[in-house]
Structure 1
């Protein structure tokens, strides 16, 4: 993918032979067909285009009509980048549905103003030297422009793209349009599922007069702690999506108990504890991975490391790691938030409690990562603060 600094190439490369080109196309087509994550599809598309035409850099840009922006991912683990939809050469190409072919960005007069606001300005910031450029827009099945391929600097001895390169990148762009249309649909379905899960979580919290931001904060805390513990990106994302459902069982708890301003009686506390079992039973029979994970979190986020939690009184590593993570995320937010039965705690008081409860209420390893991640957790708390 596109890099921050130019790659060093000691000897020029050569154009691909026809059989090599076919191998590249088949190799990437197989990878793209098996990929369900939109960001990964974008990066695979860019890698395929770069390999096909032997360019130094290649980026696939998507048009976000709602925000009137073009966006892309430039590397794994980095945030997406966004530019105005009319910015630079890519914006010109997309807005005018026109392929652009430039031999030397520094001597080209036709697109001078677009280059000065795009590639040449970036060169000044990074020290990279843009020479040859190609931008080719691509469309969906309805003939609507979805985005564009952008290739920079040919790595062969000529240093310039050819008409054949334009033909090959146009082929890649045509394939990109069809593949990305499918990936965008999958992404939209997944985003809808996430939205529904958050809304369901908010319903559970609203019954106890807590804000929807509570579930957003718990999701962020759980995600950050999961990554800090060494869980993979996929698992961290899964927990982030599932953890907002941790208190969904509260929908079945009477208001008189949920919103009682004073201390609960023993009978009322037993009734309150049932929200873990209710949430589990609501979700456990789903075949969807997110909801199955949410069922587990709902069931186990009140269990304690020392076995004195509920509903089952399990202990240590018998509690799933998702439950152990959500437990500390939930308590951190609950203590730091004002509730009908208490004032918000000061941060120092919360941190002291966590030190005391390390190895008692909470998994020691999770507590340690909590403290390591505390700056990021506090930033998330500020970002999703209650208004």
Structure 2
């Protein structure tokens, strides 16, 4: 029987299980849960999104689909179109306060000097860079530099000595006078296996540190 509360409870369990399975914890788990769980909780027409998203998350057929269509009194193909549109819109929206919190907490958690958060904006096909040392965000193309490469490959890149690594682009350091000694760049993956952004920690602060460790990753 269709029940908004039951759907939300099952979705919550699925999200938590996914985060545990893929070792997503702490700050990134809050981001993932926030993006996927925050939805209006009013009518049956809205709650179809919870059910369909839950089934897609599990790669299972949505047996409740017909019941949700009936409850919402909207043709099935329109519900599918609406759901796809909702996914695209919500995937592009990350509240500014959330970005600020992620950067602030990552600085403390990883004990580093700077943090950059790249969020992919599908409207312009660019990574929007928000950094702890920038007042305004800037843009990076997918594939550009280390962050763009991590976005395309979905693989973490941990560089203990940037100036000894050919992948490191020194232009920013040359322009600002800041020296990037080491960095750790990690992809942010959504429930469909797509990269939605990149988190980059710069210059580990621990005394005598040779850079970021596997624990930091």
Normalising by structure 1, report the TM-score. Answer: 0.31
Q: Is the alpha carbon distance of 1:94 and 1:131 closer, same or farther for their aligned partners in structure 2, counting shifts above 3 Å?
A: same
User: Mapping of 1:1-387 within 5 angstroms?
Assistant: 25=26, 38-74=95-131, 78-108=135-165, 112=166, 114-116=167-169, 120-159=170-209, 160-166=211-217
| DSSP 3-state at the match of 1:157 | coil
Between the two proteins, the alignment pairs up a number of residues equal to 132
Higher strand share: 2
Shift of 1:156: 0.6
**Which residue of structure 2 aligns with residue 216 of structure 1?**
none
For 1:148 and 1:133, locate their aligned partners in 2 and report how far apart those are by CA, in whole Å: 13
Q: Is the alpha carbon distance of 1:37 and 1:115 closer, same or farther for their aligned partners in structure 2, counting shifts above 3 Å?
A: closer
Shift of 1:76: 9.9
Q: Is the alpha carbon distance of 1:52 and 1:77 closer, same or farther for their aligned partners in structure 2, counting shifts above 3 Å?
A: closer
Shift of 1:72: 2.8
| DSSP 3-state at the match of 1:79 | coil
For 1:58 and 1:77, locate their aligned partners in 2 and report how far apart those are by CA, in whole Å: 10
Shift of 1:74: 3.1
- Cα contact 1:39–1:73 (8 A) shared by 2: no
For 2:158 and 2:132, locate their aligned partners in 1 and report how far apart those are by CA, in whole Å: 25
| DSSP 3-state at the match of 2:163 | coil
Aligned residues: CA RMSD:
2.9
Shift of 1:143: 1.5
Shift of 1:124: 0.3
Q: Is the alpha carbon distance of 1:41 and 1:102 closer, same or farther for their aligned partners in structure 2, counting shifts above 3 Å?
A: same
For 1:71 and 1:148, locate their aligned partners in 2 and report how far apart those are by CA, in whole Å: 10
Shift of 1:50: 1.6
Shift of 1:98: 0.9
Moved more, 36-45 or 138-147: 36-45
For 2:94 and 2:155, locate their aligned partners in 1 and report how far apart those are by CA, in whole Å: 29
For 2:133 and 2:110, locate their aligned partners in 1 and report how far apart those are by CA, in whole Å: 22
Q: 1:282-326 CA distances to partner (integer Å, 9 max, x unpaired)? A: xxxxxxxxxxxxxxxxxxxxxxxxxxxxxxxxxxxxxxxxxxxxx
Structure 2 residues not aligned, in runs of 5+:
1-25, 35-92
Structure number with greater Rg is 1
